[in-house]
Amino acid sequence: MSFQVFGIPVSRGVAIGRAVLVASSRVDVAHYFIAEAQIESEIQRALRARDVVAAELEALKQDLPGDAPHELAALLDVHLMLLHDDALTGATKQWIIERHYNAEWALSAQLEVLARQFDEMEDDYLRERKADLEQVVERVLSALAREQGHAPVDAASVVQRDFAGEDPLLLVAADIAPADMMQFKRSVFHGFITDIGGKTSHTAIVARSMDIPAVVGTREASRLIRHDDWVIIDGDAGAVIVNPSPIMLEEYRFRQRQSELERARLTRLRHTPAVTLDGERVELHANIELPADAAGAIESGATGVGLFRSEFLFMNRGGELPSEEEQFIAYKAAVEAMRGMPVTIRTVDVGADKPLDRMSASELRHEHVLNPAMGLRAIRWSLAEPSMFRQQLRAIYRASAFGKVRLLIPMVAHLGEVRQILESVKKVQQQLTDAGQAFTKVDLGVMVEIPAAAVMLPLILRHVDFVSVGTNDLIQYTLAIDRADEAVAHLYDPWHPAVLQLLSRSIAESVAAGKSVSVCGEMAGDPVFTDLLLAMGLRSFSMHPSQIPSVKQRILRADAARLARVLPQVLASEDPQREAQAVFASHKVTHSLQ
């Protein structure tokens, strides 16, 4: 029987294949009492399983591929911290000693205790860590089962299985742990479906980086779909169609072929300059996390790097910070790979959902309770660690001797922070001069992510060379919404009038001051917003390299002057999205691509 399941679309396109279910290893956990004489051996069983999982996670950290999103390394570190937290391992031991539970029962019992505690917590981010805790426990239970010789089918075993046949495979799971996602990046799966998750979940991040369709937050998919069912993933509509009829199957196969042809057609635009119909030239830059990503940026036709997320170099290091030399080598490699095109390096942005792995589990919990999204993160952390900050600045300035480098500071909200940054830059320049090390002029920019920065931007612009608007955080902070919280995810609205007013004003004020301005958040890479951003006067976009062709196509078909004339109607509307669709369509000139 054919049926449909709906969820959140997080990676576009159509995937068709047979379902591979990754069942939770918490199913059918053995429950039995042990004798007094068995207590010590049962504790050792639990500890051995914990150590096996720790070794697996450490191995995954060491084997992270070069194109892995930096968020995955941070999530692996969180899982390691939870694994060694005494609230889990110590309490599990007590269940064994006091109640004579077997290891599996003790671990499951403690999970239920902790899960209830997570549910009662007020902090949104910390509540979300319940899913991470469940994934850690599942891996330990799986290790215990393997030791007993009856391992369940879990994510790790699935990826190693040699599947027969040529049918494409789609992964279906309640959730997919970061550790397993790293293995799936090298696997045969053509799409992902999960019961939980949101647009910023690790499953969504990896799916987008792999450029394959994915739907998350389906709630019941893993329970309703059976192994080997034929499934269609509609990554555009957020729909999952199970056992489709022959007519529907053929329709989606046609859409799949059309999508492939469209991608092939867009590749022809790789070397075409992004110029609007009325002659406005637009820069399309790439967001990268590793020097090796620069090759993909070049291949996509990027005209520079608009955002090099340097925090990747600081994570997954067992608590050690990268040296100045190590950072210099990485920045230099990216600069040289871009062949003279500009590379914008953002100083380390840790905190919130990107904690350093040198934090202990208790420190991590303490930070989260204090609301980490508004705590010691990004430039606040850098200024609190002046030695580390100057070390990074020296590495960035040294790399400037090998190409065009721009320095970008995240989460600025105070003029006092700008002054401290300028003092640090001046001190670093003097240190390099005294040491006889070469460097050239480096433009200094700040990110507009906090509403305060947008409101006081004219004052900030007096001290900086350029501005980059981080729309993800700007939306989050403007609307007071945790974009990773499923309960309020529907309120995360890029079209909200307040967001558009801040965005439009930030672009206009930067242009009026003669300072370059770009957008590097999700809005920049979404063609739905291309006309809007052009109308606001934006002429520099930065996005994932895979998004560049579709955005370039929209630019080539747009008349920026006509779009700008109707922008006031959009900004004044109670429903900006609907108004934009109407007025932009009526004032747009299109042409067929040659």
Task: Based on DSSP, count helices (H) and strands (E) in the chain, helices before strands.
Answer: 26, 16
pLDDT, tens digit, 9 for 90 and up, residues 364-414: 334 444 566 677 888 998 999 999 999 999 999 999 999 999 999 999 999
Rounded to whole angstroms, the Cα distance separating 75 from 91 reads 23
pLDDT at 128 over 90: no
Question: HSE of 220 in the Cβ direction (CA atoms, 13 Å)?
Answer: 7
Rounded to whole angstroms, the Cα distance separating 140 from 144 reads 6
CATH code linked to domain 156-251: 3.50.30.10
Binding residues for phosphoenolpyruvate: 309, 346, 472-473, 483
pLDDT on residue 589: 47
Which backbone phi and psi does 172 adopt, to 5 degrees? -125, 125
Pick the CATH number of 24-152 from 1.10.1740.10, 1.10.274.10, 1.10.150.120, 3.30.1330.10: 1.10.274.10
pLDDT, tens digit, 9 for 90 and up, residues 515-564: 999 999 889 988 999 999 999 999 999 998 888 999 999 999 999 999 99
Distances (CA, A) of 584 to 433, 550, 577: 52, 18, 10
Which backbone phi and psi does 233 adopt, to 5 degrees? -105, 115
Neighbours of 331 (CB within 10 A): 26
Rounded to whole angstroms, the Cα distance separating 261 from 575 reads 35
User: 409 forms bridges with which residues in the sheet?
Assistant: 446
Structurally, what CATH architecture does the domain formed by 274-586 represent? Alpha-Beta Barrel (3.20)
pLDDT on residue 115: 76
The whole-number average pLDDT for the span 108-128 is 75
Q: Is-contact 308 334, C-beta < 8 A?
A: yes
Rounded to whole angstroms, the Cα distance separating 381 from 358 reads 14
Binding residues: 309, 346, 449, 472-473, 483
Q: What letter does residue 278 receive in the DSSP assignment?
A: T
pLDDT band at 112 (very low <50, low <70, confident <90, very high): confident
For 122, the 3-state DSSP assignment is: coil
Rounded to whole angstroms, the Cα distance separating 171 from 322 reads 36
Q: Is-contact 470 481, C-beta < 8 A?
A: no
Q: Is-contact 233 193, C-beta < 8 A?
A: yes
Identify the residue with better confidence: 279 or 362.
279
Kindly report the average pLDDT of the chain as a whole number: 84
Give the catalytic positions in this structure.
202, 520
Of 9, 18, 17, give the one whose Cα is nearest residue 234.
Answer: 9
pLDDT at 98 over 60: yes
Distances (CA, A) of 331 to 386, 422, 423, 438, 514: 20, 21, 22, 15, 28
Neighbours of 458 (CB within 10 A): 12
For 189, the 3-state DSSP assignment is: strand
pLDDT on residue 105: 79
pLDDT on residue 126: 67
Q: Is-contact 202 216, C-beta < 8 A?
A: no
Token code pair at residue 185: 């990046």
Of 492, 469, 465, give the one whose Cα is nearest residue 412.
Answer: 469
pLDDT at 593 over 70: no
Rounded to whole angstroms, the Cα distance separating 568 from 112 reads 54
Give the amino acid at 558.
Answer: A
Identify the residue with better confidence: 232 or 363.
232
Rounded to whole angstroms, the Cα distance separating 286 from 298 reads 9
Give the predicted TM-score (pTM) of the model: 0.68
Of 202, 195, 173, give the one whose Cα is nearest residue 23.
Answer: 173
Binding residues for Mg(2+): 449, 473
Token code pair at residue 74: 């941070």
Give the amino acid at 170.
Answer: L
pLDDT, tens digit, 9 for 90 and up, residues 201-224: 666 766 776 678 999 888 889 888
Token code pair at residue 420: 């401290």
Name residue, tokens 């599942």: 138
User: 172 forms bridges with which residues in the sheet?
Assistant: 21, 193
Distances (CA, A) of 574 to 82, 480, 496, 569, 570: 46, 20, 9, 10, 9
pLDDT band at 3 (very low <50, low <70, confident <90, very high): very high
Q: Is-contact 306 286, C-beta < 8 A?
A: yes
Query: Per-domain residue ranges for the chain?
Result: 24-152, 156-251, 274-586
The whole-number average pLDDT for the span 500-516 is 98
Identify the residue with better confidence: 197 or 402.
402
Least confident of 442-446, 449-453, 523-527, 563-567: 523-527
pLDDT on residue 226: 81
pLDDT, tens digit, 9 for 90 and up, residues 130-150: 888 888 888 898 888 877 644
Rounded to whole angstroms, the Cα distance separating 36 from 96 reads 10
